[in-house]
Structure 1
Amino acid sequence: MARFSARNADSNIVDYLLNPSPDLQLTAAYPVNPRRSTAIAIIVIYCILLALMAIPYFRTFLVIQTNPGYIRKGPHAQHVASPSHSSTEKQTFQRSCAPTTIEERPPKSPSRTRTRTRSRSHSAPRLDLDRKAIFDGTVAAPPGLERFYTKDAFVCDMSGLPIFCPKCDNWKRDRTHHCSEVGRCVRRMDHFCPWIGGIVSETNLKPFLQFVIYAALYTLFLLVVLAVFVAEQVRIGLGRDAWFIGILVTSATFFFFAAGMSGSVIQMSLGNYTTVENLFKGNKTYFIAVYTGPQTPQTALQRPLYPTVTYPLRPTSGADIRQFAILQTKPGENPWDLGATANWQELMGYSLLEWLLPIKYSPFCKHGARYEYPFGPVLDRMKREAGLSSG
Structure 2
Amino acid sequence: MKFNKLKNDKSSIRNKLRKISTINSAVILLLCWLLLSSTSLLFIKNYEKRNLELIGATLSTTLTAATVFADSYDAHTKIARLGNEGMYDSAQLVTREHLVLVHWHASKEQTGWYSRLLREWIYHKPLRVNIIHSDVIVGTLTLEGTVNGAVSFIRYSFIILTSGMLSVLIISLMLSEFLHRGIIATLRNITSSIHYVIHSGDFSLRIPGSPTSEFQLFSDDLNSLLMEMQSLKASLIRDNRSLAAKALEDPLTGLANRSAFSAHLTRLLDQQYAEKRFALLFLDGDHFKSINDNWGHAAGDEVIKTIGSRLLSLASEQDLVARLGGDEFAMLVSSRSSEAQLQLLMKNIHEAIMQKIFIADGKQINISVTLGYAWSQHGDTVASILERADTNMYKNKRTSKAQR
Interval of TM-score (by shorter of Structure 1 and Structure 2)? under 0.3
Which is richer in strand? 2
Using the size of structure 1 for normalisation, the TM-score is 0.25
Of structures 1 and 2, the one scoring higher in RCO (CA 8 A, sep 6+) is: 1
Using the size of structure 2 for normalisation, the TM-score is 0.25
Which is richer in helix? 2
Whichever of the two has the greater Rg, that structure is 2
